[in-house]
Amino acid sequence: QHAAAWDRATLTALFDPETGWLDRRVLSDESLYQLELERIFARGWNFMCHESQLKAPGDYLISYIGEDQVIVVRGADGEIRALLNTCRHRGNALCRAEQGRAKSFVCSYHGWNYALDGELIGVPGQSTFYHGELDKSRLSLAKARIESHLGFYFATLAEDAPSLHDYLGVTGRAGLGMICAHGEIEVAEGVQKNIIDCNWKIAVDNLFDWYHVPYSHASANTAGFLDIARIQFPKDQMVMLGEYGHAIGGPGIPRAAQDQINALTDAQRMELSHAQADMAPRIRPRAATDLMGPEGVRSEGHPNIFPNLWVTISGTQMCLRLPRGPSHTELWWYTLVPKAAPPEAKREIIRRMNHVFGPAGLLEQDDGENWSQSTRSSRGVASRTLGHNLQMGLGHDEAKVGAGGEHYIEGLISEHGQRWLYRAWTEWMSARDWAELKANHSAPPTGRV
Ligand code: FES
Ligand code: FE
């Protein structure tokens, strides 16, 4: 019913990639938000969990596909499944805990009982009140499709979606590969969750925004909290663009420096990263080139797996930007630690990360306030008619392709990443199904951008 209000022409007119102007209603309109739930979240691959979060049969956690709540659970057979958390009787949420271990899921309303694979196995009064006539086989929990890459599980409600591998493409796989570049990881206990009163896309597009760092985060810099001088002052940026809106934006390692790293053995790289602690994340082991591509391995940016999985540049934090209406976003922060690290080292990473992003993070407190005010003015009758300006760097850079098929742009700090996000957004929103999206979405550009 929402599609009726917005046809292809009106949706495409909301963002002009040629001029970089975005209509602010994209950040505040309720009917656009409802259409996003249908055409972006229900249709895309949504991050559910990392395999380390569900170690044993019966381990489960709650996640979301848009506003559909999902129980992600490891079954008795070891398989991870995504079950919609809605009882097939009268819709009650079966599982109320955010995570735990269960033998089955019993509904708190009338007591229907579901196995870990979603099958309905028990109905009170089945032979008396239902006269033995209830067909339990037709009342299993609804399932979402679920697939994994490098231990990261994603789910979609779209039967016609491409495989997760194809959906991620080179850029999405490089983004997840960045996290695993230094070896196997696990998610630390305790996902931090908080709500910011901003549109989810502002929280997403900010990750490509390296222009705000010296201004928004000046206080963190003054306090000596982070050595952001290195981030602030190279004025260069490497942006990788992928199919369906995936992108990675941030500093890049100059090719000459990477050539020097490439000439080293893994042992020499290890030695070098111990000698230069702040450079350690950029001195990646040889295997990282296979995960990220020969040019992608030079990227030090934050990846976004479209629509809403944000990975930080360090590969030690990840954040889901979950939509909660046009004006609210729930942020779920995960800390990632090397699986093989000793407990004290893991604790140290967690302690450090808690001070960067998440509710107690100095950087996020700077960011959140700006996002919230930008969202608020997108609702004002007069202020929403003024566009959002995303024109930085338009027409000044060259998009190239690496030998691994990775698309990248190197140049000054720019808004290529943001433009790519909103271009993808109009394509997702105006396609009625996956066939139309596949036929009409933009391939990453080459040449002048
Ligand atoms: Fe779940 Fe009735 S709503 S048993
Ligand atoms: Fe920031």
- pLDDT at 196 exceeding the cut of 80: yes
Q: What single-letter amino acid sits at 197?
A: D
**Distance, CA 66 to ligand 1 centroid (Å)?**
23
pLDDT, tens digit, 9 for 90 and up, residues 76-91: 999 999 999 999 999 9
Yes or no: say if 395 and 241 are a contact pair by the CB < 8 Å rule. no
Ligand 1 pocket test, candidate residues 71, 84, 87, 104, most atoms within 8 A of CB = 87
Give the CA count within 13 Å in the CB-facing half-sphere of 380. Answer: 9
Is 444 in a helix, a strand, or coil?
coil
Q: What percent of the chain has pLDDT over 90?
A: 82
Q: 233 CB less than 6 Å from ligand 1?
A: no
Q: pLDDT, tens digit, for every residue of 322-381?
A: 999 999 999 999 999 999 999 999 999 999 888 888 888 888 888 999 999 999 999 999
Distances (CA, A) of 230 to 226, 234, 364: 10, 7, 19
Can you tell me the mean pLDDT for 271-295? 85
Report the C-alpha gap between 262 and 405 in whole angstroms: 19
Comparing CA positions, the residue from 7, 133, 15 lying closest to residue 422 is 15
Q: What is the mean pLDDT of the chain?
A: 94
52 or 225: whose pLDDT is higher? Answer: 52
User: What local confidence, expressed as pLDDT, does residue 60 receive?
Assistant: 98
Q: Is there an atom of ligand 1 within 6 Å of 87 CB?
A: yes
Contact 426, 14 (CB under 8 A): yes
pLDDT tens for each residue of 92-138? 999 999 999 999 999 999 999 999 999 999 999 999 999 999 999 99
- What is the pLDDT, as a whole number, of residue 408? 97
Of 59-63, 249-253, 262-266, 386-390, the range with the lowest mean pLDDT is 249-253
The pLDDT of residue 230:
55
Cβ–ligand 1 contact at 112 (below 6 Å): yes
pLDDT band at 3 (very low <50, low <70, confident <90, very high): low
Cα radius of gyration rounded to whole Å, the chain: 23
Q: Cα(23)–Cα(6) distance, rounded to whole angstroms?
A: 14
107 lines ligand 1 (CB under 6 A): yes
Q: How far apart are CA 53 and CA 63, in angstroms?
A: 12
pLDDT at 227: 61
pLDDT tops 90 at residue 314: no
Give the per-residue pLDDT at 228.
Answer: 57
Tokens of 152: 């990261």
Amino acid (one-letter) located at 246: H
Query: From the centroid of its chain, how far is CA 207?
Result: 11
Q: Is 89 in the pocket of ligand 1 (CB under 6 A)?
A: yes
Nearest CA to ligand 1 atom 2: 110
Which residue's CA is the nearest one to ligand 1's atom 3?
Answer: 90
Give all domains of the chain, ordered by start, each with its CATH number: 3-42+158-448 (3.90.380.10), 49-149 (2.102.10.10)
Residue nearest to atom 4 of ligand 1 (CA): 110
